[in-house]
Amino acid sequence: MLLSHYLGLLENSEKQLSDAFEYVSRKHKDEPDIEQICQKLSAWSREHHGKVMSFCQKYSEQQSSEPDKLKRDLFAEKRSGSLTLLRDLHDLWLLAQEVQLCWIVIRQAALGLRDEELKATHEFCNARTKRQSDWLLGRIKQAAPQTLLVAEQ
Protein backbone atom coordinates (compact mmCIF):
# COMPACT_ATOMS: atom_id res chain seq x y z
CA MET A 1 0.00 0.00 0.00
CA LEU A 2 1.41 3.35 -1.02
CA LEU A 3 -0.81 5.34 1.32
CA SER A 4 2.07 5.67 3.72
CA HIS A 5 4.06 7.45 1.05
CA TYR A 6 1.38 10.10 0.69
CA LEU A 7 0.89 10.40 4.42
CA GLY A 8 4.60 11.11 4.60
CA LEU A 9 4.22 13.74 1.94
CA LEU A 10 1.37 15.32 3.87
CA GLU A 11 3.19 15.13 7.17
CA ASN A 12 6.16 16.81 5.63
CA SER A 13 4.18 19.53 3.91
CA GLU A 14 2.18 20.44 7.03
CA LYS A 15 5.50 20.76 8.81
CA GLN A 16 6.92 22.93 6.04
CA LEU A 17 3.84 25.12 6.13
CA SER A 18 3.98 25.51 9.87
CA ASP A 19 7.65 26.45 9.75
CA ALA A 20 7.11 28.81 6.86
CA PHE A 21 4.30 30.67 8.62
CA GLU A 22 6.55 30.97 11.64
CA TYR A 23 9.40 32.24 9.48
CA VAL A 24 7.25 34.84 7.76
CA SER A 25 5.78 35.92 11.08
CA ARG A 26 9.22 36.64 12.49
CA LYS A 27 10.54 38.21 9.33
CA HIS A 28 7.63 40.66 9.00
CA LYS A 29 7.30 41.80 12.58
CA ASP A 30 6.78 45.35 11.35
CA GLU A 31 3.49 44.30 9.82
CA PRO A 32 1.49 43.67 12.98
CA ASP A 33 -1.31 41.73 11.30
CA ILE A 34 1.16 39.50 9.46
CA GLU A 35 3.10 38.76 12.61
CA GLN A 36 0.07 37.72 14.61
CA ILE A 37 -2.04 35.91 12.07
CA CYS A 38 0.96 33.95 10.78
CA GLN A 39 1.68 32.86 14.34
CA LYS A 40 -1.86 31.62 14.65
CA LEU A 41 -1.83 29.86 11.29
CA SER A 42 1.50 28.29 12.08
CA ALA A 43 -0.04 26.83 15.21
CA TRP A 44 -2.89 25.40 13.16
CA SER A 45 -0.47 23.57 10.89
CA ARG A 46 1.52 22.36 13.85
CA GLU A 47 -1.65 20.85 15.26
CA HIS A 48 -2.47 19.24 11.91
CA HIS A 49 1.01 17.86 11.74
CA GLY A 50 0.54 16.14 15.09
CA LYS A 51 -2.69 14.58 13.91
CA VAL A 52 -1.12 13.32 10.69
CA MET A 53 1.79 11.79 12.59
CA SER A 54 -0.51 9.36 14.32
CA PHE A 55 -1.77 8.10 10.96
CA CYS A 56 1.77 7.81 9.69
CA GLN A 57 2.45 5.43 12.53
CA LYS A 58 -0.78 3.59 11.94
CA TYR A 59 0.06 3.03 8.27
CA SER A 60 3.82 2.68 8.90
CA GLU A 61 5.25 5.64 7.20
CA GLN A 62 7.99 5.78 4.63
CA GLN A 63 9.71 9.13 4.52
CA SER A 64 9.20 11.35 1.55
CA SER A 65 11.49 14.24 0.88
CA GLU A 66 9.62 15.96 -1.90
CA PRO A 67 8.10 18.97 -0.13
CA ASP A 68 11.42 19.62 1.56
CA LYS A 69 12.74 20.47 -1.82
CA LEU A 70 9.68 22.60 -2.48
CA LYS A 71 10.36 24.85 0.47
CA ARG A 72 13.99 25.21 -0.49
CA ASP A 73 12.93 26.41 -3.90
CA LEU A 74 10.23 28.66 -2.58
CA PHE A 75 12.12 30.58 0.04
CA ALA A 76 15.44 30.33 -1.76
CA GLU A 77 16.67 33.86 -2.45
CA LYS A 78 17.41 36.20 0.37
CA ARG A 79 14.69 38.68 -0.26
CA SER A 80 14.63 42.32 0.69
CA GLY A 81 12.87 45.45 -0.47
CA SER A 82 9.24 46.23 -1.17
CA LEU A 83 8.48 43.01 -3.00
CA THR A 84 9.50 40.78 -0.10
CA LEU A 85 6.20 40.61 1.69
CA LEU A 86 4.22 39.89 -1.43
CA ARG A 87 6.68 37.20 -2.56
CA ASP A 88 6.72 35.56 0.87
CA LEU A 89 2.94 35.44 1.01
CA HIS A 90 2.94 34.10 -2.53
CA ASP A 91 5.19 31.21 -1.46
CA LEU A 92 3.14 30.52 1.63
CA TRP A 93 0.10 30.23 -0.58
CA LEU A 94 1.87 27.72 -2.82
CA LEU A 95 2.82 25.63 0.20
CA ALA A 96 -0.76 25.74 1.43
CA GLN A 97 -1.92 24.45 -1.97
CA GLU A 98 0.49 21.55 -1.62
CA VAL A 99 -1.03 20.70 1.73
CA GLN A 100 -4.54 21.01 0.42
CA LEU A 101 -3.86 18.75 -2.52
CA CYS A 102 -2.30 16.14 -0.25
CA TRP A 103 -5.44 16.20 1.87
CA ILE A 104 -7.63 15.68 -1.19
CA VAL A 105 -5.59 12.64 -2.16
CA ILE A 106 -5.63 11.26 1.38
CA ARG A 107 -9.35 11.74 1.62
CA GLN A 108 -9.89 9.53 -1.43
CA ALA A 109 -7.89 6.80 0.26
CA ALA A 110 -9.72 7.28 3.56
CA LEU A 111 -13.02 6.77 1.78
CA GLY A 112 -11.77 3.58 0.16
CA LEU A 113 -10.40 2.33 3.48
CA ARG A 114 -13.55 3.36 5.32
CA ASP A 115 -11.22 4.86 7.95
CA GLU A 116 -13.68 7.07 9.82
CA GLU A 117 -11.02 8.62 11.97
CA LEU A 118 -8.93 9.65 9.01
CA LYS A 119 -12.02 11.01 7.30
CA ALA A 120 -12.85 13.11 10.33
CA THR A 121 -9.28 14.35 10.58
CA HIS A 122 -9.35 15.30 6.93
CA GLU A 123 -12.53 17.23 7.42
CA PHE A 124 -11.13 19.19 10.34
CA CYS A 125 -7.72 19.92 8.84
CA ASN A 126 -8.77 20.53 5.28
CA ALA A 127 -11.33 23.15 6.32
CA ARG A 128 -8.62 25.00 8.17
CA THR A 129 -6.16 24.71 5.31
CA LYS A 130 -8.73 26.40 3.13
CA ARG A 131 -9.03 29.17 5.70
CA GLN A 132 -5.26 29.57 5.65
CA SER A 133 -5.33 29.90 1.87
CA ASP A 134 -8.25 32.31 2.02
CA TRP A 135 -6.41 34.56 4.40
CA LEU A 136 -3.26 34.45 2.29
CA LEU A 137 -5.15 35.23 -0.87
CA GLY A 138 -6.99 38.14 0.75
CA ARG A 139 -3.76 39.59 2.06
CA ILE A 140 -1.99 39.09 -1.26
CA LYS A 141 -4.78 40.88 -3.09
CA GLN A 142 -4.55 43.73 -0.63
CA ALA A 143 -0.78 44.08 -0.93
CA ALA A 144 -0.46 43.61 -4.69
CA PRO A 145 -1.54 46.94 -6.18
CA GLN A 146 0.40 49.06 -3.71
CA THR A 147 3.50 46.93 -4.06
CA LEU A 148 3.50 46.71 -7.82
CA LEU A 149 2.33 50.18 -8.75
CA VAL A 150 3.46 52.57 -6.05
CA ALA A 151 6.23 51.18 -3.92
CA GLU A 152 9.80 51.68 -5.01
CA GLN A 153 12.64 49.21 -4.77
User: Which residues are at the interface with other proteins (CB under 8 A)?
Assistant: 30-33, 36-37, 40-41, 82, 131-132, 134-135, 137-138, 141-142, 144-147, 149-152
Rounded to a whole number of angstroms, the minimum distance from the CB of residue 95 to other proteins is 16
C-beta of 138: minimal distance to other proteins in Å? Answer: 5
Give the list of residues 6+ apart from residue 45 with CB closer than 8 angstroms, or none: 14, 15, 17, 18, 21, 99, 132
- Name which of 120 and 144 has its Cβ closer to other proteins: 144
Nearer Cβ to other proteins, position 56 or 85? 85
How far is residue 76's CA from residue 2's CA, in Å, rounded to a whole number? 30
Identify the H or E element spanning 11.
Answer: helix 3-27
Q: How far is the CB of 34 from other proteins (least distance, A)?
A: 10
Q: Which amino acid is present at 119? A: K
Distance of CA 12 to the CA centre of its chain: 10
Q: Which is nearer to other proteins, 66 or 134 (CB)?
A: 134
